[in-house]
Amino acid sequence: MKKIAYDQQWSAMSGFSMLLYKELLRFWKVAFQTIAGPVLTTVLYLVVFAHVLAGRVEVFPGVSYTAFLVPGLVMMSSLQNAFANSSSSLIQSKITGNIIFVLLPPLGAWEFFGAYLLAAIVRGVVVGIGVYLAGLILTAVPMAKPLWVVIFAILGSGILGNLGIIAGIWAEKFDQMAAFQSFIIMPLTFLSGVFYSIHSLPPFWLWLSHANPIFYLIDGFRYGFFAHSDVDPWLSLAIATISFLALSFVVLTMLHRGYKLRH
């Protein structure tokens, strides 16, 4: 009995490792598109906004607008690419029919969840590092609290990786996935304080920003660089952690029930 249990445990671990390897290799083999492309696009945002507004805007005391932009753009690119990694993998597998090769092996919901989520986090963090290093070419960006930077980078990529899994499971065609990204992910990321401090907003938009969970990811992440934030960083950490756990619970529930995967 012990040997059977050991063999089953090893099989699950091996399956998880292979699925994780597949997901990492999937985006790494086209790194020019999945990593270099997003880095270049985000750096263009930085160059354009910095050129137009540098010297005219100072959000935090002693922090140039160009430096202020870098952490927000780093987090935005990480979030968007973490979402893209898990969502695109699942929707492509479903439409081409090769999702069956993932569902047939004796993989549990935790192994499936862990492999897709970890791959999304890795891609998000790698793209974020690329944007940060490119930003350093244009301006000096201090890192006052590195641990906060790491925590929010992982939590943020994990949250959007979870959303990507949810969208990938829910969507049945590319149009639905594009709608999910265009009408939910893009507005939430662009209206989260990436390019501005929310204290400069009118009352209605200020209230709306506080209802946007991605705002807390951007603000908490930026706090790790400048030790300044628009809201209490511990509140941002609490909301980010709760959001990650809640979305993880939703994903695991969908996987355990086989929602739109086994039916």
pLDDT of residue 101: 79
Structure tokens at 8: 């089953």
User: What residues contact residue 79 under an 8 Å CB cut-off, 6+ apart?
Assistant: 124, 156, 157, 159, 160, 185, 189, 214, 217
For residue 189, count CB atoms less than 10 angstroms from its CB and return exposed for 0-12, middle for 13-18, buried for 19 or more. buried
**pLDDT band with cut points at 50, 70 and 90 for residue 35:** very high
Closest CA to 124 of 180, 90, 177, 164: 164
Mean pLDDT, the chain, as a whole number? 87
| Of residues 28 and 106, more confidently modeled | 28
**pLDDT band with cut points at 50, 70 and 90 for residue 107:** confident
What tens digit of pLDDT does each residue of 139-159 get? 888 899 999 999 999 999 999
| Of residues 123 and 260, more confidently modeled | 123
| Of residues 178 and 63, more confidently modeled | 178
How crowded is the C-beta side of 14, counted as CA atoms within 13 Å?
8
Question: What whole-number distance in Å separates Cα of residue 167 and Cα of residue 170?
Answer: 5
Q: What percent of the chain has pLDDT over 90?
A: 54
User: What residues contact residue 156 under an 8 Å CB cut-off, 6+ apart?
Assistant: 75, 78, 79, 82, 124, 214, 217, 221, 240
What count of residues does the chain have? 263
pLDDT of residue 143: 92
Q: What is the pTM of this model?
A: 0.90
Q: Are 125 and 160 in contact (CB under 8 A)?
A: no
Q: Are 156 and 240 in contact (CB under 8 A)?
A: yes
Please state the rounded mean pLDDT for residues 74-85. 95
**pLDDT band with cut points at 50, 70 and 90 for residue 12:** very low
pLDDT of residue 263: 57
**pLDDT band with cut points at 50, 70 and 90 for residue 13:** low
